[in-house]
Chain A
Amino acid sequence: MAESYSEGRTGDGEYQEQFLNDTTLRRLGAAVAGLFTLGVGGFIAAIIFTQVDFELLVEIIHPQFVNAFLRVLGIVLVGSLLSVTAGVFVGLGRVSNTKFTNTVATAYVEFFRGTPLLFQLLVIYVGIPAFWPPGQFPISNWAIPTAIIGLTLNHAAYVGEAVRGGIDAVPEGQMEAARSLGMSYVQGMREVVLPQAWRNALAAIGNDQVILVKDTSLLTVIAIPELISAFRNVNSTTFDPWTPIILVAIAYLMITIPLGKIVNHLEARADWGGDRR
């Protein structure tokens, strides 16, 4: 129908101002964002000025929170490195043409993605030492290894799926071109497919690593003095909720925000002549 093209026009050919046109939408959005900022900002200011006990804050920040922060940071660094490395191999297994390898990688992902991390941590923390007679388990501080093993196994599954998606998104012609030049499958993967798959998967991997940081909060159940247990410690002795809450928030954001920046930087670096803008 020809009339449908002239909808919104008045008889003399002028565009009619609709209620929700582009300009009003833009102003409405800015107004909502402004109100939101004011509300949240006011709330945070109210907390800081009415709820936070600065004397207590100074007292608990060191050594309690600094130590918890450094412990979490250390676990995150090792867990990230290991889970991303292992995840690449899980992803390679997922795209393998060898049925056995493929099946094993798929089962791995199904299990570690399909059961809660908390459950996996308990299996490792309580289950593994049960193979030894009571009191004979040779590792005295088993909680830290449990944390690293659990986070690595769990997040390798997610990273593996991100890598698989990244590999699948690389056109088949890339591997064919590499093979046609006499490169082996391994060379083609390493030199041609994986660098492109890595870029494709970076956002998803970064996302998962942020979740890994936050997953360290579960380590409180295997008695690792991390940030949540530091909060509970302070809160249960002083009955002050907001002073430790503020510290916990700052500590997590001190890891997750730089992590996001690193991912952005890596993405910008894999720009290859500007096709990603």
Chain B
Amino acid sequence: MSLLEFDEVDKYFGETHVLKDVDLDVEEGEVCVIIGPSGSGKSTLLRCANRLEEIQDGEIRLEGQSISAADADINRLRQRIGMVFQSFNLFPHKTARENVTLAPTKVKGLKKGDAERRADELLDRVGLGAQSNSYPNQLSGGQQQRVAIARALAMDPHVMLFDEVTSALDPELVGEVLDVMHDLAEEGMTMLVVTHEMGFAREVGDRIVLMADGKVVEDSPPEVFFENPKTDRGKQFLSKLL
């Protein structure tokens, strides 16, 4: 049993078939990087993984439990799936620390003091120990995204989903976010990462999954994918990067 399993997943937006029979298994401790042209369905796949989008056919399972079933206890399952968004989505009315403590106190019933101690630890870990009392609009994009990572980690997720988390950042701020993700990968976090950062994909990824037109078209280790892709679609994609 893999940690996260996509089993013949089909997703439609109205008439548009955006995910076509997608099969993908993510193993524990693995960093699975999804790349592909825009509109290929990679972000949608990620959003289906914690049911921000409903799927129309197939099944998605986390540690053997169905996420997509009608009777799934989705609030409980989502606690094991951390998600970081392209546009950060920090809560603007709460400080960095309050952003991190909100879900642990409200959802897990953690005591305020315990949650705050843990939040300060996590903010330290992403290099923002000094900014814990700042509001999001007082932080740079890179800092906000690192708070968002700390916020997701505060629920002790078993897998982290990263949805183009550096795409909205100024170029000079991308590195600080990728560094945090790099550290997280080294600590053994299971990660499903949608990104356009090929350097990161190559260095940190255990697997490169190429999506095109709603399908997984290649699934290779990075050294294979970036040196000698197995499929024509992979070769085509790589040739456009250079």
Contacts and interface: CB of A to CB of B under 8 A. Distances in A.
Interface of A: 171, 173-174, 176-184, 187, 191-192, 195-196, 199, 270, 272-275
A-side binding surface: helix, strand, loop or mixed? helix
A181 B149 CA distance: 11
Contacts of B135: 272-275
B55 interface: no
A191 B106 contact: yes
Interface stretch (B24-32, B86-94, B211-219, B223-231): B86-94
B93 A270 contact: yes
A273 B81 contact: no
B69 interface: no
A176 B138 contact: no
Contact of A173 (B50, B87, B155): B87
B85 A181 contact: no
Contact of B103 (A171, A176, A181, A195): A181
B91 A181 contact: no
Query: Which of A178, A182, A195, A196 neighbours the largest number of chain B CB atoms within 10 Å of its CB?
Result: A182
B97 interface: no
Given A179-B78, A180-B81, A182-B155, A272 B92 contact: yes
Given A176-B52, A273-B136, A273-B138, A182 B92 contact: no
> Which of B87, B93, B148, B155 gathers most chain A CB within 10 Å?
B93
Contact of B78 (A181, A191, A274): A181
Nearest to B83: A180
16 contacts: A173-B87, A174-B89, A177-B90, A179-B75, A180-B81, A181-B78, A182-B155, A183-B107, A184-B75, A191-B102, A196-B93, A199-B93, A270-B93, A272-B94, A273-B135, A275-B135
Interface residues of B, number: 30
B106 A187 contact: yes
Contacts of B75: 179, 182-184
Contacts of B94: 272
B151 A274 contact: no
Contact of A273 (B76, B103, B137, B151): B137
Q: Which 7 A-B pairs have the closest CB atoms?
A: A273-B135, A181-B103, A177-B89, A182-B79, A173-B89, A275-B137, A180-B83
Given A182-B155, A184-B75, A274 B138 contact: yes
A200 to B, nearest CB: 11
Nearest to A196: B93
A193 B138 CA distance: 20
Contacts of A270: 93
Nearest to B136: A273
Contacts, number: 76
Contact of A181 (B76, B93, B136, B152): B152
Contacts of B134: 273
B39 to A, nearest CB: 20
A273 B131 CA distance: 12
Contact of A174 (B50, B91, B107, B152): B91
Contacts of B148: 177
Query: Which has the most chain B C-beta neighbours within 10 Å: A171, A181, A273?
Result: A181
Contact of B52 (A179, A182, A273, A275): A179
A195 B91 CA distance: 10
A177 B85 CA distance: 8
Contacts of B152: 180-181
Contacts of A180: 50, 52, 78, 81-83, 152
Contacts of B82: 180
A183 B103 CA distance: 7
Contacts of A174: 89, 91
Contacts of B155: 181-182
Given A173-B85, A178-B91, A182-B75, 15 more contacts: A173-B87, A173-B89, A176-B85, A177-B90, A180-B78, A180-B83, A182-B76, A183-B106, A270-B93, A273-B92, A273-B136, A273-B137, A274-B135, A275-B92, A275-B135
Nearest to A181: B103
A272 B137 contact: yes
A177 B50 CA distance: 11
Interface string B139-161: 00000000010011001000000
Contacts of A274: 135, 137-138
A181 B98 CA distance: 14
Given A173-B85, A174-B91, A176-B85, A181 B138 contact: no
Contacts of B87: 171, 173
A182 B91 contact: no
B205 to A, nearest CB: 23
A253 to B, nearest CB: 33
